Amino acid sequence: MRVDKLISELAVIAATSKVLGLDVQRAYCASLHAVWAATGAPNGTLKVQGSNKALITDSETPSLTDADWEDITGLSQAIAGSAGSKLFNVDGIGYRFIRLYWLRTSGSLTVSSYGFSKG
């Protein structure tokens, strides 16, 4: 299985928000690439979360609640007002879905995210 797609291209995120999940159930590794602008003076943490819940729609986007996701240890990036990018490498995947999650402290965030998996 190979998945190489734009997960989400978001407008300004003014509050805590999530990016659509990527189904990685047949993958042994994946990566998420986030690119953000400094517009809106973003401050907070961008992190990767995983879930094993099996609810999925035809579009392969998990329809899960925030309570269904857990942070993946070591996969986070603090953002403090400047533009940047981060490539998160997820090895040894043992869960069905991964997603990016923006935990806002202040400001707003404009981010595009891309996902890729191999299995």
| Tens-digit pLDDT string for the chain (119 aa) | 444 444 444 444 545 566 667 778 888 888 888 888 877 788 889 899 998 876 555 455 556 777 788 999 999 999 998 889 999 999 988 888 888 888 888 887 788 788 888 87
CB 77 within 8 A of CB 46: yes
| Number of domains observed in the structure of the chain | 1
- CATH number for the domain that contains residue 93: 2.60.120.680
* Residue 27 φ/ψ, nearest 5 degrees: -100, 150
| CA atoms of 36 and 86, how far apart (whole Å) | 9
Query: pTM for this structure?
Result: 0.79
Give the separation between CA 113 and CA 43, rounded to whole angstroms. Answer: 18
Q: Sort strands 2-13 and 84-91 into parallel, antiparallel or unpaired.
A: unpaired
Tokens of 101: 């999650």
Choose among 9, 17, 27, 10: nearest CA to 116: 27
Could you list the residue range(s) of the whole structural domain that residue 113 is in? 2-118
